[in-house]
């Protein structure tokens, strides 16, 4: 695809989210209260053939939220993201009618209303929602495989342990990059 097309989708989705948030955030900060709900997508969270531009923009929104949630906490501003699955005018004709009838946008609306309400104290959550289905989505990290720093680490050593490195038993999620970095430091300090 031409880079202009790629950039257009980034401007609409990612920068559109940034511009709206930039306008609202100072008002919320001055009031000491706010709720922001961003829209991500399963395409960004998991990938989707033919949607590299859209997927990049939608996962970029999650990165934006992950940092902004930290800045907003001290002002009682909570920021979450929804990955909706609902039929809209853009999706007309894509799903069979019996499926489309269950993917009504009204089934995502209660979640968004909650995330915008005073009842919601969560911040930094990603919620997948559609057809009455709601679930949290997390970015997680596998258990550490440590080689040590006292000797050279080779691509062959990585290849030999790659299955263990990517094994997702007992994954860990982190609230921020500092928490993740602290886990690396603990692994280095306590490893044999």
* CA gap 49, 35 in Å, rounded: 33
Residues 53-95 pLDDT 10s: 999 999 999 999 999 999 999 999 999 999 999 888 777 778 7
**Interval 33-58 mean pLDDT:** 96
Q: Tell the burial category of 34 from Cβ atoms under 10 Å away from its Cβ (0-12, 13-18, 19+).
A: buried
Longest dimension (CA), the chain: 62
Residues 111-138 pLDDT 10s: 999 999 999 999 999 999 999 999 999 9
* CA gap 81, 169 in Å, rounded: 26
Domain ranges of the chain: 3-137, 141-190
Torsion angle of alpha carbons 96, 46, 56, 127, nearest 10°? Answer: 80
Superfamily classification of domain 3-137? NAD(P)-binding Rossmann-like Domain (3.40.50.720)
Kindly name the residue from 19, 33, 46, 54 that is annotated as catalytic.
Answer: 54
On whether the CB atoms of residues 162 and 147 are closer than 8 A, the answer is: no
* CA gap 173, 189 in Å, rounded: 20
133 counts as catalytic = no
Provide the percentage of residues in the chain whose pLDDT is more than 70.
Answer: 98
* CA gap 16, 20 in Å, rounded: 6
* pTM exceeds cut of 0.85: yes
């Amino acid at each position: 695809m031409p880079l202009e097309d790629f950039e257009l989708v980034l401007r609409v989705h990612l920068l559109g989210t940034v511009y709206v948030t930039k306008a609202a955030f100072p008002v919320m900060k001055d009031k000491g209260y706010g709720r922001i709900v961003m829209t991500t997508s399963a395409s960004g969270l998991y990938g989707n053939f033919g949607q590299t531009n859209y997927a990049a923009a939608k996962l970029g929104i999650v990165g934006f939220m992950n940092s902004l949630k930290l800045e907003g906490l001290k002002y009682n501003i909570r920021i979450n993201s929804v990955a909706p699955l609902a039929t809209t005018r853009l999706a007309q004709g894509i799903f069979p009618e019996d499926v489309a009838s269950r993917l009504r946008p009204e089934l995502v609306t209660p979640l968004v209303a909650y995330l915008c309400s005073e009842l919601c104290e969560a911040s930094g959550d990603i919620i997948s929602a559609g057809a009455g289905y709601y679930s949290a989505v997390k970015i997680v990290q596998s258990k550490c495989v440590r080689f040590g720093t006292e000797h050279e680490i080779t691509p062959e050593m990585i290849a030999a342990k790659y299955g263990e490195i990517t094994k997702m038993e007992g994954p860990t999620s982190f609230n921020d990059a500092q928490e993740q970095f602290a886990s690396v430091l603990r692994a280095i300090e306590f490893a044999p």
